[in-house]
Amino acid sequence: MLRFISTSIAVCILICTSGSRLWSQSFELGGGLGGSLYDGELSSDYFLGRFQLIDPAFNIYARYNFHPNMTVRLGFLQTSVRGDDNINLREDRRRRNLDFRSNITEFSLIGEVNLPGFYPDLSRGWFVVYGFGGIAGFFFNPTTIYNGRVVELQPLGTEGQGLSAYPDRQPYSRFSISLPAGGGVKMALTQNITMSIEIGLRKTFTDYIDDVSTTYAPFNLLLRENGDAAAYLTNRTWEFLGTTPGNYAPDSRRGSPTSKDWYISGFLGISYHFYTTDVASYFDSSCPKF
C-alpha cells in the first residue's frame, strides 16, 4: 500500500512536469489553525460525544503546484488527542475509568486533486473543492494524571510489556505511520493569498495512541515486576468504586488489538503563492486536464 501511494505520486509528477515548462509552476507556504479528535478504545460510543474532547491543532506546509488540477505538499502538524471513559454511555467503560492525552507530531507527504482546476488569478476556478491523500509519520506519547502529576504510560508497561510471563509483549514504539485522506475547499482571496478549509482522517498502524490494546496482565505480577503505577493504572475501577486496586480478571479483554487507532484533524488555513514568473505563465501547461 505505501509503495503504491508513493509510486502514484511520483508518476503524477513526472507526467505533468514532462509536458509543461518548468516556469509554469508555483510554490506556496502556508499554515492553519484547527482541532483534532481521536477514535479508539477510549472513545465515546456516542458519536457526537467524541466532539467533547477536541484539542487545538496547527499545521504549516509547503505546497508545490505543478498543475492547476494537481499539487503536492510537505506538511508539519502539531496537536494532541485524548479519550476518557467517564464520557462513555456504557457502564462497564465508565467503571474501567481510564483516560489519556497524547501529543502528536506529524510529518507528511500529501498529493491533492483540485476539481475543477485552481486558478488563483481570480479569472476562473478561484473557488474549488479538493481531495487529498498521502503518507505520514508521527510521534505520540500517551499520558494520564496520577497522584496529581502527569505520568507517561508507555514506560510503565500497563499491559504487561516486559513481564517475564509475557515474553511476546514488548514495549510499543511511540512512532508510527499513518495514511492521511480527506478533502476541503480553497478560495483565492488575491493572486497571492489563498484561504482553505479542510478535514482529514488519519488511519494509523498502531493501537497504542491511547495505551490500550489487548488484555489485562495479573495485578500482582504487574505490581511486583513493573511497579505500583503500572499496576494501579492498568485498570482504575478502584478509583471509580472507592475500593482496593486489582478488581479485574487477569487476561480478560482490555482493548481491541484488531482495530487500530485513528485521529481526525480539521484546519482553516492561509497560504501565500510564489510565482517563478508572471501569474499567467502558471496556467500555460500541457499536462492533461482531469
The string of pLDDT tens digits covering residues 125-172 is 689 999 999 999 999 999 999 999 999 999 999 999 999 999 999 999
- With a cut of 90, say whether residue 266 has pLDDT above it: yes
- With a cut of 50, say whether residue 13 has pLDDT above it: no
C-alpha cell at 258: 484488531
Write the DSSP symbol of residue 45: S
Peptide bond into 116 cis (omega under 30): yes
Q: How confident is the model at residue 278 (pLDDT cuts 50, 70, 90)?
A: low
pLDDT for 45 equals 81
pLDDT for 25 equals 60
181 Cβ partners below 8 Å, 6+ apart?
Answer: 131, 132, 133, 134, 200, 201, 203
In the chain, pLDDT over 90 holds for what percent of residues? 71
The model's pTM is: 0.85
DSSP assignment of 97-132 equals: --EEEEEEEEEEEEEEEEES---TTSSS--EEEEEE
Q: Which domains does the chain have, with CATH numbers?
A: 32-273 (2.40.160.20)
Phi/psi at 184 (nearest 5 deg)?
180, -165
Q: How confident is the model at residue 121 (pLDDT cuts 50, 70, 90)?
A: low
- With a cut of 50, say whether residue 289 has pLDDT above it: no
- With a cut of 50, say whether residue 91 has pLDDT above it: yes
C-alpha cell at 111: 498529493
Q: How confident is the model at residue 276 (pLDDT cuts 50, 70, 90)?
A: low
CA distance 208 to 161: 12
Distances (CA, A) of 168 to 145, 164, 207: 28, 9, 16
User: What is the distance in angstroms between the CA of the first residue and the CA of the last residue of the chain?
Assistant: 24
